[in-house]
Structure 1
Amino acid sequence: MKFYLGTHQPAWLARDLGVPLLVSHQRLANRRSLPRATGPWACDAGGFTELSLHGRWRTDERSYIAALRRYTTEIGQLDWAAPMDHMVESHVLARTGATVRVHQHRTVANYLRLRELASELPIIPVLQGQSVVDFHRCADLYEKQGVALVGLPLVGVGSVCRRQHTAEVEQILRSLAARGFRLHAFGVKVLGLARSADVLASSDSAAWSRRGRYLPGCTPGHRTEANCLAFALRWRTGMLDRLARDQVGPAATVSPGMAA
């Protein structure tokens, strides 16, 4: 499993960190100059923020494609990019006024449109749902549109990062993996990863920054650790060590090397 360290600091892309990063389009879109990546990274579209705050996407597909092409050229080393998907957490649905099924259809339609506009870009499909049945219904929607999810380099699993019930997350991920999908789990909690890492191709987390808000800075210039690279890397190492100890799935072999 490849683990992407989520960060709101685009400048870290230019640092020789030896770890893959996940950076949001929202953090890159308005920059006049972009850092040149020294290692692999992935681009999150920032849908959770968009829908939570505004109830809709404020950009269109062509603008997003133009941005991704710029990132590919100027930053380089882009592993993949998320589509402009529609997550289905309850408070997001309340903000948009739509249903789970509507969000699923919008997510699939967006992926198809992005692929039509730029088939050369490594944009991955993302599955959305609340229940196991929901996620499989979303997968079926892709299949009905001619998208063969089996065999794709990566299929994202959204709307799982804030779930407290790790057994439910495990059931969702294992049931999707059983269909032959190479899965990326967006922001799954550590215990959820420990239960499911053996069926994931990759995952990510920016939980270090949330935790760092409540810790005093490690240097006089840092009021907290919420923006600290050293803290982020220490958190990542500790998280991977804990994951290796706590993994309870059938393939109980996880090490920090999984991030490479």
Structure 2
Amino acid sequence: MSTNPVGARFYLGTHRETWLRDERFRGVPLFISHRRLRDRRRLPRAITDWALDSGGFTELSMYGRWETPPEHYAQAVARYAAEIGQIQWAAPQDWMCEPSVLAKTGRTVAEHQRLTIDNLLELRTLAPDLPWVPVLQGWHPDDYRRHVDAYTRAGIDLTREPVVGLGSVCRRQATAPMHALIGDLARQGLRLHGFGFKTRGLAHMHHLLASADSLAWSYAARRRPPLPGHDIAHINCANCPTYALRWRAEMLAGLPAWHQPAIFDLPERSAA
């Protein structure tokens, strides 16, 4: 298997599902939450690649459990794959391990890890043709290493997965322990997707990731005045295509040795 850094494929996070059919985003991979799509009677036909977030942080923070049955989630993702098209992968109904989420659920990190694996296995049984990806959860670096071992015991070889999500890191991604962990996992052959990476985290670790997503542009735009001439259209640029694309271009240009590989450009793994 290849252990060389491959550089990240960057998914631009958005709250606007209509961007999937917007010509301005052709060739710009997008990252969208199930919570944005689930109640839509009509879905856009995608002209660009995209990946699906399950919306787990919001759901667990609100209810302390998954209210959405796996059967309903699998049916929804099957609909997205058929009607939207170009979906690259879908996150399972994973269980985040931030202290605030653990306090809400009343469960331990180990329980969240077990439930994350159980859900992936169930979704792959319910809808084996859909592109479900495993997600690593934890809080301390050794938690993630134990989760890798738990996947192995469950019969899932993460080194053979096209993408492995790395959860519960969005506020800690630029720290030395997370950098060391991501480097260790990448050297083991895991093709990691960094959920919710900020600019600083991408600058430090994009070369160790297979892909990453970010909505950081929207959070920044919500706290700043709109772009010149945009004040007529909106009070801020938190959902502004021009702002999002400008942020993306500037961010990518500022990262060393960045490239935007297609999924099929990533190095193949050996069968061994």
Matched, 1:8 2:20: no
1:166 Cα shift? 2.2
Residue deviations 1:172-207 (CA, integer Å, cap 9, x gap)? 211111211111111122222222212211000001
Moved over 3 A (4+): 257-260
Equivalent residues of 1:5, 1:19 under 8 A apart? yes
Matched, 1:66 2:75: yes
Q: 51, 56, 66: which is aligned to 2:60?
A: 51
2: CA distance between counterparts of 1:98 and 1:20?
35
Matched, 1:184 2:193: yes
Tell me which amino acid in the other structure corresponds to 1:209.
S
1:242 Cα shift? 2.1
1:126 Cα shift? 0.1
Partner of 1:163: 172
Matched, 1:211 2:220: yes
Equivalent residues of 1:19, 1:259 under 8 A apart? no
- Secondary structure of the 1:150 match is helix
1:56 Cα shift? 1.2
Output the TM-score relative to the length of structure 2.
Answer: 0.89
What aligned pairs does 1:1-260 form with structure 2 within 5 A after superposition?
Answer: 1-16=8-23, 17=25, 18-163=27-172, 165-218=174-227, 219=230, 220-244=232-256, 253-255=257-259, 257=260
- Greater mean deviation of Cα atoms: 157-166 or 15-24: 157-166
Tell me which amino acid in the other structure corresponds to 1:61.
P
Higher relative contact order (CA 8 A, sep 6+): 2
Partner of 1:249: none
Evaluate the alpha carbon distance shift between residue 193 and residue 259 of structure 1 in structure 2; reply closer, same or farther with a 3 A threshold.
Answer: farther
Over aligned residue pairs, what C-alpha RMSD do you find? 1.4
Identity among equivalent positions (%) equals 51
Residue deviations 1:215-254 (CA, integer Å, cap 9, x gap)? 222311110011111001111111112223xxxxxxxx11
How many residue pairs match? The answer is 251
1:58 Cα shift? 1.1
Residue deviations 1:12-44 (CA, integer Å, cap 9, x gap)? 011121200000000000000000000100000
Tell me which amino acid in the other structure corresponds to 1:236.
R
Output the TM-score relative to the length of structure 1.
Answer: 0.93
2: CA distance between counterparts of 1:115 and 1:175?
27
Partner of 2:3: none
- Secondary structure of the 1:86 match is coil
Residue deviations 1:131-181 (CA, integer Å, cap 9, x gap)? 121001111111101011112111110000122652222112111112111
Unaligned runs of 5+ in 1: 245-252
Equivalent residues of 2:173, 2:179 under 8 A apart? no
